[in-house]
Amino acid sequence: MKRVICVMAVVLCVAGCRGNGPGEADVLNVAAKLPAGLPVAALEWKTISSSVDRKTGTMDLLTGNDAAVRGASTGSYGEGAVLALTTWAQRDDPHWFGARIPGGFVSLETVTVSLGTDGKTTAVYRRFAGSPAREVAGAGDAESRKMEILGMRASQLP
């Protein structure tokens, strides 16, 4: 009888230890995942700068292709440079009291620098939002947003 009780105790302990491990949401920030439909893989590019806007409760990440990274330190972007500003709503970090991390996707803004027909560089601004992401047409502040993104400088690390 003692042997049966001992075997049952071991089986229950082993079964209890087989509980579910951490799920994807416990390990990865799935809330910050970018939606389908974006024209560039912005998170695969190099980071240029980041910022937090406490007033709106958002956080931004400025990334760029190699041509953009080369021009980021001087603010002079040449032909072929593509900048992408990704914005998320902030949320509380469930693993670190008081910390804020990216939450839901808000928008992706791109600025593409190319040569115009007159031989001078020109920059085209585009904004994407929603899930799946769709281009937002007729953004009223497109020119000022383009200039703001082009004016962002690379973060300086020691």
- 58 pLDDT exceeds 90? yes
pTM (2 decimals)? 0.80
Which of 63, 117, 116, 54 lies closest to 89, judged by CA?
Answer: 54
Pick 38 or 1 by higher pLDDT.
38
Q: What confidence tens digit (pLDDT) does each residue in 115-151 have?
A: 888 888 899 999 999 999 999 987 668 889 999 999 9
Rounded Cα gap, residues 138 and 153, in angstroms: 27
Q: Are 105 and 88 in contact (CB under 8 A)?
A: yes
CA distance 117 to 33: 38
Choosing among 2.30.30, 3.50.70, 4.10.800, 3.40.50, the CATH entry for 26-151 is: 3.50.70
Residue 1, pLDDT > 60, answer no
Give pLDDT tens digits for 86-110.
999 999 988 889 899 999 999 999 9
Residue 116: both structure tokens together = 């115009």
